[in-house]
Amino acid sequence: MDNRPIGVFDSGLGGLTAVKALRRLLPGEDIVYFGDTGRIPYGTRSRETIIKYADQDIRFLQTFDVKMIVVACGTVSSMLNVTPGFQVNVPYTGVLVPAAQAACVLSSGGKIGVIGTQATIRSGEFGRIIRGIRPEAQVFGNACPLLVPIVEAGLVQPDNPIAREAVAMYLAPLKEAGIDTLVLGCTHYPLLYDVINAYLDYQVTLVDSGSEVARYVRGYLASHNLLNSQSSGGSFDFYVSDQVDGFIKTAEFFLGEAISQQVSQVDIDRI
């Protein structure tokens, strides 16, 4: 058994959907979360900048002696997949492979849609991984740059006209293509699950990347004898790179529970 914490990071708040899933599946695990709220969004940055930020984020989490790092950001996950030589000295996973594997299993006809940030879709990594598992699969991707700010503004209700209009604009070509499965390739997007599901007439299987990475982490820790010795009562520690006030309210919305722990601001550029 291993009682060290799990480290999770994201460019902002989206990774909290992965934290929520980890909390549900592994209630005894301690979690250290870093949200790089001072430099969001990553999705419009260059590959070099994203890798630089990811390296700083990972080095910060490693100061807590974490036993595993979860890159709960589709943008960073896609960049690390195509960066030869990028190494982390503890086990780590991004969201791409777990979500792609789930999509390949769940897709009935091999017509798989992927939505994510501009950087994620531009990388083509979801398509490469999916076709590596199911060579016959057809993959249809679309970048959805407005969905992250819509989610962080809390405009996620099924009847919200802004959310519905944005989802319809981005998903129209995928719906027209006849996809049977859709990967929510950014961990913000599960907050729009009901809006997306309704637009697709409840006929498309949705793959929540945050939930899938949490399942992967549970399996990895169990198979490598790294689970926490306690079965409940795991702790949270939250760190952000910008002001904490706005983070708390939005984080409670993402997690569906109150945050009693103190949220700390860090100067990530000093790491």
Kindly list the catalytic residues: 73, 186
What's the chain's length in residues?
A: 271
Handedness of CA 219, 223, 226, 232 (dihedral sign): positive
Rg (CA), the chain: 18
- The amino acid sitting at 153 is A
Exposure string over 170-205, b if 16+ CB within 10 A, otherwise e? bbeebbeeebbbbbbbbbbbbbbeebbbebbeeebb
Rounded (to 5) percent helix, strand, coil in the chain: 45, 15, 40
